Structure 1
């Protein structure tokens, strides 16, 4: 058996960090098990689904390093769903109902008042052909419910019927089908709700493991029943904990909260996003994994906690810095060129400044400092100005390397008697205009003697 998983976003907006947790959990599970990853767009909601969102989702996943083995669109698969629905109708397992939303709400309240569970009472099963014809003549169109197998002989006498599965994350789970209403699978307009196409696709595409957020746990019992009604063995299920914002709010595509597109645009590294999305809220240490193979080594579905995890962008900044500091020049050559950072000294420049960057794009500031001089006039006292002028007179001859800084400052120390911060800070301010930054031992050779002398106050 080839492990086959799927990520099934609805293209109604950009995916956010919470969606990414599900996508990456599936991708890494497939990676660890030599399996296949299917990207399936659940785009049966014709009004809200947009092709531009599907394209954006595919681009975001590619940026993260997720490479689907197969891409499917539910909007192109209606014939398969129609055939499966007809099978259930013929078997008497999908039945028409005509109640309005208001009528259903009234029945729910009546059941609650009688201290009965607020589940659908299957009243539509009692309708005669004549009664159904009369309702349709009045203009009512049926929605279709799946008859849950929670009774022996009489569907109006449901009894406890347990569905069990060993969840890949949560362990042994049990759902009582008698505690549930028969789920609506087909709307009045003939469109399908999420549950049914999802099951049909999982069967048709050979999905072996369904890994998703734990907000779907309650769907699982009914879905297992639908799998079996269609003559298929259910896949294995795993439900990971959800991510929330730092304030505990749920993430939503509608608000654009922490969308992958937004994180891309502000310059985060894909592996910093992937590392935090996967490892936060688990028993694993959150590390800045340099690539998917390393992240896969730290990924365990069962390591997820049972409670939701808060996504803190400050943690993302920490991981991003760690990754940027380790990037070699070849890994960023193209991105630096796009920022205008290229030429003979680009590599030496990158190696000098990368340890002080939070994002690759931050290199632009230092490139300006190196090539155009200090961007803000240094705040030097008259005494420090005089000291710096004397220090510049002691600059050694070229060629320069990493030892030049020590040679120079040793000479300045001997001549001036200054040491420590009193020696180094005025020189740093004169050279960069900033009180902190890259090691000057690395930066000085990039500036060169001529570029350094140009900064003499």
Structure 2
């Protein structure tokens, strides 16, 4: 039965999707699906100078690649009139006030406060301006930005991951809601949308904890029913540094370009920072296992090398049906028999092309001993072949040549596959076929 749970993922379409944001989307999605609720994909595209539809489309594509579907998709740029009305009400209530300091002036003021051992909190000097002061500043070409006036009291909430939290809003600056150019920062549209859409739960990274007190006061000011908050630990690079897209593997696009499986990424991101072992799991299993109580407080270390190992583990147990669509996209047609033979040797799905070529195409055999190859060809069993044929043949080659161990098996592997490694040849041999085996041994067909 559907619940009243409603969540949202609200990316800014100003670039490609970071894996940290993918994790936020995934955790929201897993919780919502477990609770039978509704999840909204809400593009925070009010920054018209940097937001593009191309980035929004790319984000949607990355989310869909990961298997995440959304019940509602909306764009904040379509709701500016609603935000304007909310801003007008806040101004009328005396909660939104104009400020005329330039960024340079604010920076000098912060530095002076720090040098005096004071917290760099906005001092509300703009509230002391008279109508005449404001008129003169505007006549001089100053355009105001607008700040939301906080109560200066203690705001408390019970975080679903971090437990009881409290912040004195007197210790933080009144947040800027409207920039000098008249555009909105994320906080006002986000709060108004949360109120309008009836968002019940806000799941996000712990870097937003300090914003929560101000957001709670703003939500109350716009008449919203307060949602529950859950702040999960952030992901960091190995060693604790900030994840950087320049280092590779920190954007979903880069993960995709590496040829990794969506299930590897979702399994990895869902388990990081929790008490669960990091292992391959289906989305259904991840939904079933989602619990706020599993999240710790320590940063989650994201390592693309670990992701690669998880990808390999996933492929080694994947059923053909799990990967058939992506194999088709790679232009590969693979039988169940071939898939079961090769999956244990794949690091990436695209590696399957090597073994399609070995079984169905042309290769360059490696013949280091032509006499050995000739003798091996002479004792090649007649068809039909099955998985017992390899042992029958190698026993015959051993008897004919005296070769054994690596000296027996490696020359045959190199001749038949052109490689010194790979799946068991007892499975590959029937798929290669007698004619190709004879040709690769230099004997021609008979």
Shift of 1:272: 0.2
Identify the residue that residue 355 of structure 1 maps to in structure 2.
Answer: 344
Shift of 1:426: 1.8
Unaligned runs of 5+ residues in structure 1 are 151-160
Identify the residue that residue 367 of structure 1 maps to in structure 2.
Answer: 356
1:21-100 alignment runs, 5 A limit: 21-100=23-102
Matched-pair contact (CA < 8 Å) for 1:14–1:253: no
Identify the residue that residue 226 of structure 2 maps to in structure 1.
Answer: 234
Shift of 1:335: 3.7
Identify the residue that residue 394 of structure 2 maps to in structure 1.
Answer: 409
CA-to-aligned-CA distance 1:194-228 (integer Å, 9 cap, x gap): 11111111111111111111111110110011111
CA-to-aligned-CA distance 1:126-148 (integer Å, 9 cap, x gap): 22222222222222121111111
Identify the residue that residue 149 of structure 1 maps to in structure 2.
Answer: 151
In structure 2, C-alpha distance between the alignment counterparts of 1:448 and 1:319, rounded to whole Å: 34
Identify the residue that residue 265 of structure 1 maps to in structure 2.
Answer: 257
What is the Cα-based RMSD across aligned positions, in Å?
A: 2.1
In structure 1, C-alpha distance between the alignment counterparts of 2:410 and 2:248, rounded to whole Å: 44
Matched-pair contact (CA < 8 Å) for 1:321–1:357: yes
Identify the residue that residue 155 of structure 1 maps to in structure 2.
Answer: none
Structure 1 residues 38 and 50: alpha-carbon distance in aligned structure 2, compared to 1, 3 A threshold: same
In structure 2, C-alpha distance between the alignment counterparts of 1:256 and 1:182, rounded to whole Å: 37
CA-to-aligned-CA distance 1:266-301 (integer Å, 9 cap, x gap): 311101011112212322100111x21112233333
Matched-pair contact (CA < 8 Å) for 1:15–1:253: no
Matched-pair contact (CA < 8 Å) for 2:365–2:415: no
Q: 2:297 aligns with which of 299, 306, 325?
A: 306
User: Partner of 2:181: helix, strand, or coil?
Assistant: coil
User: Larger deviation: 432-441 or 113-122?
Assistant: 113-122
Identify the residue that residue 138 of structure 1 maps to in structure 2.
Answer: 140
Identify the residue that residue 325 of structure 1 maps to in structure 2.
Answer: 316
In structure 2, C-alpha distance between the alignment counterparts of 1:254 and 1:84, rounded to whole Å: 40
Shift of 1:58: 0.3
Unaligned runs of 5+ residues in structure 2 are none
User: Partner of 2:273: helix, strand, or coil?
Assistant: coil
User: Partner of 1:77: helix, strand, or coil?
Assistant: helix
User: Partner of 1:232: helix, strand, or coil?
Assistant: coil
Q: 2:287 aligns with which of 292, 296, 312?
A: 296
In structure 2, C-alpha distance between the alignment counterparts of 1:63 and 1:374, rounded to whole Å: 34
User: Larger deviation: 248-257 or 122-131?
Assistant: 248-257
In structure 2, C-alpha distance between the alignment counterparts of 1:310 and 1:376, rounded to whole Å: 44
Identify the residue that residue 332 of structure 2 maps to in structure 1.
Answer: 341
User: Partner of 2:410: helix, strand, or coil?
Assistant: helix
TM-score, reference length from structure 1: 0.91
Is 1:183 matched up with 2:175? yes
Matched-pair contact (CA < 8 Å) for 1:13–1:253: no
Identify the residue that residue 279 of structure 2 maps to in structure 1.
Answer: 287
Shift of 1:354: 1.9
In structure 2, C-alpha distance between the alignment counterparts of 1:174 and 1:59, rounded to whole Å: 38
In structure 1, C-alpha distance between the alignment counterparts of 2:30 and 2:240, rounded to whole Å: 26
TM-score, reference length from structure 2: 0.93
Structure 1 consecutive aligned stretches of length 4 or more whose deviation exceeds 6 Å: 253-256
Is 1:398 matched up with 2:380? no
